[in-house]
Amino acid sequence: MKLILVCLLNLGLVGLAVAGQLSARVTGDEIRLRVAPVDPIDPFRGAYVDLAYPDITERTTHQTGDAYVSLARRGQVWEATSVSVDPPADGLFLKCHDDGSRLACGIESFFVPQDRAREIESDVGRGDAVAVVKVDSRGNAALVSVRTR
């Protein structure tokens, strides 16, 4: 009986760890965001494209903790309109972590096969790519893909 309880507790903890990403993927609205490259390879985690979101992550509340970035559609992509320590009453927004100088929204790394990482990095570096992101009603975001415009 104790073993079953320990197993259920572990499953619950794993579920809690991925709940935001899963919620965004299942119930979220799909949006596209401008991206910029950062760094393509991590020897411990494999090939990935590390992305920056110039319309979003360079904003800050100048405080440490949760930050909420309101979004508005501008043509084919979405851009930040404001950032606040309180969730907006309406509209689409991202829940991010503010370290006092930059925002991290959990959509900064995109894992792909190594040959594809170099290709995506080139597209992103030329400004020819956008991130396809799903965002749920609580601001949880999941990076779905990176596409060439």
pLDDT value, residue 142? 92
SS3 category, 99: strand
Q: Pairing relation of β-strands 129-135 and 29-34?
A: antiparallel
C-alpha dist (Å) from residue 118 to 32, 53, 112, 134: 21, 19, 10, 24
SS3 category, 70: strand
Tens digits of pLDDT across the chain (149 residues): 877 877 777 777 766 666 666 777 777 777 887 777 665 555 555 567 788 888 887 788 888 999 999 999 999 899 999 999 999 999 999 999 998 888 899 998 888 777 777 777 788 778 778 899 999 999 999 999 888 76
pLDDT in tens, 99-136: 888 889 999 888 877 777 777 778 877 877 889 999 99
Query: Nearest Cα to 128, choosing from 110, 144, 149?
Result: 149
